[in-house]
Structure 1
Amino acid sequence: MPAISLAADTSRPASRYPGGIEPNLRRLRMALAVIDCGSAHRAAGKLHLTQSSLTKAVQELERAAEVPLFLRTSRGMVATRFGHILAGRVRRALSHIEAAEQELREAGPEAPPCAGFCGKVTHRQLAALIGIADHQTESGAARRMSLSQPAVTAALRELERLAGSQLFHRTVKAMIPTAGGEILIRRAKLAFAEIMAAGSDMSSLQGQLTGRVVVGSLPMAGALLAPRAINRLLREHPGLQVSVVEGTFQSLIQGVLCGDVDIIIGALDYPTPPCDIVKEHLFDDRLSIVVRKGHRLASRARLDMADLAGAQWVVPRAGTPARMYLDRIAGEAGLDLGSNPIESNSLFTVRTLLLESDRLAIISRHQIEIDESAELLQILPLDLEGLSVPIGVGTRADGAPSAGVKAFLRHLHDLGDEIDASQAVRAQPLSKAG
């Protein structure tokens, strides 16, 4: 069965590398040098290594990738299509390490990174950095990496020496990243994400996608859109691993910007950091007032907002698009939502509250499609023309989506078109009822 995991945070395990490519920077630099030089002999000279050690490293990389990265000829080594894919991702990964070096130099009063920082930093040092950041302790990072705590401590100390600055503030309970630590953590995660994406890209040439897709799901995407797209993706590519992360908009944005999350699905009309996130529209999600089947208001052929006076509500949390819309239409109609409405963005919680009470809620129609078909919940016949939320996807502006993410985006766009068409058809009886 394809793997799907539901995660409460946005961290990718550093000890697992879907697609087979471990982010061993030393080994990857060697392979890139061979591609650039056209032979192991010339690459070894460029890196001041023995040809045998370089050849061994390249062979180990090919065994891990399970594809040929080079064609060996009498004139040298020529990169295969797989090799060129890997080279592109490695260049992007190393560019993040180079950017980290520059950003650390510009960051503040501490010593600058040592000369040749980008060429000296190791994947174990960066994995230790990420592990400590995610677990906030060296012991937690050690467990993730299957290393001893002294080994993790030593890796961090060496990385701090190379970076020229302290990377964590140590408190009694936790290790908190410094400004320099935040810079390096973000760039290290982006570098590792690029290398993991190489495995997915190379597997696409063989017709069977592997690797991982991490989906950040906002409340208005979690009911049907994200699950349906994931099911379609895994029917087409069962070798992919999919993780679903649910969180606040800001936490998911931060996950995207550091490479922990590949894509956010949900309402597009949240503020986003300028130029950092690219948003693509999928469909407009129609909002409706929803009640349990058999609610006293549900038998009416026509309602207006005044008929909702005195009702108890389950409302979206403050600051969300749906809550802003509800507050606006209630204010325009002079409708009091009560002094103590229940606030929740959890569809499961809202659904249960509606089923077991006479409360009202504002929910997008596609989110209750299953409950409406099962005659558990129903839409009140209110004219809420124009009350809709644009739903779409957000990705990192400077990112290069892996083959797995591209396949997922294709299914999302197909579903968006289908939902658009379905809502147009289903809205007709509602308008006639009004």
Structure 2
Amino acid sequence: MQIDPRHLIQLATIVQCGSFGAAAAKLNVAQPALSKSMKKLEERLGAPIFERIGRQSVATDLGTTFARFGLMMLAAEDQARAYAQHLSTGQAGSLLIGTAPSLADNLLAPILSDFLASHVGCRVELRVGLLAELETQLSTGQVNLVIGPARPLSADLQLETETLADDMLGIVCRKGHALTRQAEILPRDLEAQRWVAHSRGSYLRMQTEDGLAKFGVSSFDIALDTDSTETAYKAVAKSDLITVMPRLPTVLSGHNDAIEFLPLDSTAFQRPIGIVQRASHPRSSLELAFLRQLRRAVQPAGGAG
């Protein structure tokens, strides 16, 4: 048996309003057309859904039962309308975000925490991984946005990048390290140190090796190899080990009291932070709202670095 869902909504409205006339006005239909629809519903059910009591049409037990189904449909319609409104204003929906380990804890975690507090209908899936892995997830639709170091992308991936903030890598050591007292840092000074290296195959590791090579460092002694930026921070803060870190996430990390950057700049260490997405992906209202908050959080920190 097929029942027109519109008839159930009309039935529920009649029961709610108490009369055909009031329901017709609320539904913006002619009363004869509404009566005809109820007659069709009665024929479909094979039993009356209204009975005459005096001058009023009152729902029968069957009519009251099916009116409840109509009320549930009305409630679902209201919920769908409200959710659609939240979606259109960026108050609800899902964010599928990928990011690099160097940005996850110190940049995105506090921003996402604030964003979720003000967007209670929002759900976030945050994927942390190497940039090459994230670009693959992006191209296959597993994530919609990647917040990470902006780098040239393969044309066949059909990805596009928008610069979020300028950033650079820097060589980090503990406060009071012997290198901080030198007027000039030479390649041989860096070759004499023991290093914390980032995970092999990561873009950060590739940039570290490339930047040091262009500065004239022919080799560096790796004491600790890790894919955890937090481990790298803590290892450097409590020893004479040194490492390379992006400046902006480090400013936001809370480790500034224990570590510092050496006064060494190189164009090879440039590492702008970008927003990467599929070229075909239209940003949702929720994504636009998140990116506005992300830009507000990043710009002051970038200026302070």
Q: Distance in 2 between matches of 1:199 and 1:229?
A: 26
Tell me which structure has the larger Cα radius of gyration. 2
Greater shift, 223-232 or 361-370, is seen at 223-232
- Trace 1:308-347 onto structure 2 (pairs within 5 A): 308-338=190-220, 340-347=222-229
- Trace 1:201-220 onto structure 2 (pairs within 5 A): 201-204=84-87, 209-220=91-102
Q: Distance in 2 between matches of 1:350 and 1:55?
A: 66
| 1:384 matched residue in structure 2 | 266
1:341, CA displacement in angstroms? 4.8
Runs of 4+ in 1 over 4 A off after TM superposition: 53-57, 198-201, 370-374
The 3 A distance-change label for structure 1 pair 229 and 350 is: same
Asked if residue 409 in structure 1 is aligned to residue 297 in structure 2, the reply is: no
| 1:248 matched residue in structure 2 | 130
SS at match of 2:168: strand
The 3 A distance-change label for structure 1 pair 253 and 333 is: closer
The 3 A distance-change label for structure 1 pair 366 and 201 is: farther
**Partner letter of residue 389 of structure 1?**
R
Q: Distance in 2 between matches of 1:329 and 1:345?
A: 19
| 1:289 matched residue in structure 2 | 171
**Partner letter of residue 29 of structure 2?**
S
The 3 A distance-change label for structure 1 pair 299 and 248 is: same
1:378, CA displacement in angstroms? 1.0
SS at match of 1:211: strand
Residues 137-196 of structure 1, C-alpha deviation per residue, up to 9 Å, x if partnerless?
A: xxxxxxxxxxxxxxxxxxxxxxxxxxxxxxxxxxxxxxxxxxxxxxxxxxxxxxxxxxxx
| 2:187 matched residue in structure 1 | 305
Q: Distance in 1 between matches of 2:6 and 2:96?
A: 34
Greater strand fraction, Structure 1 or Structure 2: 2
**Partner letter of residue 202 of structure 1?**
Q
Q: Distance in 2 between matches of 1:418 and 1:370?
A: 11
**Partner letter of residue 203 of structure 1?**
H
| 1:366 matched residue in structure 2 | 248
Greater shift, 404-413 or 207-216, is seen at 207-216
Contact preservation (8 Å) 1:313, 1:361: yes
Q: Distance in 2 between matches of 1:51 and 1:275?
A: 48
TM-score, length basis structure 2: 0.66
**Partner letter of residue 270 of structure 2?**
S
Structure with higher RCO (Cα < 8 A, 6+ apart): 2
Q: Distance in 2 between matches of 1:201 and 1:407?
A: 16
Q: Distance in 2 between matches of 1:255 and 1:51?
A: 44
Asked if residue 269 in structure 1 is aligned to residue 151 in structure 2, the reply is: yes
Asked if residue 422 in structure 1 is aligned to residue 304 in structure 2, the reply is: yes
Contact preservation (8 Å) 2:90, 2:285: no
SS at match of 1:224: helix
Paired-residue identity, %: 23
Q: Distance in 1 between matches of 2:227 and 2:185?
A: 26
1:359, CA displacement in angstroms? 1.2
**Partner letter of residue 52 of structure 1?**
D
TM-score, length basis structure 1: 0.48
Residues 215-264 of structure 1, C-alpha deviation per residue, up to 9 Å, x if partnerless?
A: 21113322433124313422432332223211233432343334332311
Unaligned regions of 5+ residues in structure 2, if any? Answer: 12-25, 34-80
1:311, CA displacement in angstroms? 0.8
2:4 counterpart (30, 33, 52)? 52
